[in-house]
Amino acid sequence: MTREIIIAGFGGQGVMSMGKTLVEAGMAEGYNVSWVPSYGPEMRGGTANCAVVISDEPVGSPLVVQPNELIAMNGPSLKKFEPHVEAGGLILVNSSQAPERVHRQDVRAFYVPSMEEAGKLGNFKVANMVMLGAYIAATGALKMGTLEQMLSHIFTGNKAPLVTLNVQALQAGAAYIK
């Protein structure tokens, strides 16, 4: 099993943290992983994407040209990367920021209003974790419990209270898919 994933959006949408969380959880489950970030020249509001590979075989290249799966956090990212997703692949769209629909008929698509779901939790900053939870529910790529454990490793010290909120966001995203 090899999953090649592109996660894309604007800077500040948590694209990189989604990728890092996936990679750390994949490593914890014993998979071979890679994570390659790509930023636009702006700090926030510019383009940002990362390529993630999770595999039970050695990763030959960390570059992802034709992903199996795409998480598009905004319309421009959907437009840019949709054509490259392999036939039979999966596209998750943050419908809060991308009113566009997937044009292809040869992929599965899910539309997740991650901002609205995050708003229900009282913090729009966890929209990325809503999308990550939706991804896990749609793919079964990793165990939800592993991701929850990774969050407790990521948020430590004075950020430890954020673990519960982020776990709730993962669960909200997963529930939206189910």
Residue 159: what pLDDT?
86
HSE-CB at 66 with a 13 A cutoff on CA atoms is 5
Alpha carbons 140 and 119: distance in angstroms, whole number: 25
Enter the DSSP assignment of 125.
G
Any idea where the domains of the chain sit in the sequence?
Answer: 2-177
Q: What CATH superfamily is the domain 2-177?
A: Pyruvate-ferredoxin oxidoreductase, PFOR, domain III (3.40.920.10)
Looking at the predicted structure, is the pLDDT value of residue 173 above 90? yes
- Residue pLDDT, tens place only, 148-166: 998 988 888 998 889 999 9
User: How far is it, in rounded angstroms, from Cα 48 to Cα 118?
Assistant: 21
**pLDDT of 42 above 90:** no
* 103 φ/ψ angles, rounded to the nearest 5 degrees: -85, -25
Residue 12 clears pLDDT 70, i.e. is over it: yes
Q: Taking a C-beta distance cutoff of 8 angstroms, is the pair 54, 120 a contact?
A: no
In this predicted structure, what is the pLDDT of residue 11?
A: 84
Give pLDDT tens digits for 76-119.
999 999 999 999 999 999 999 998 999 999 999 999 999 999 99
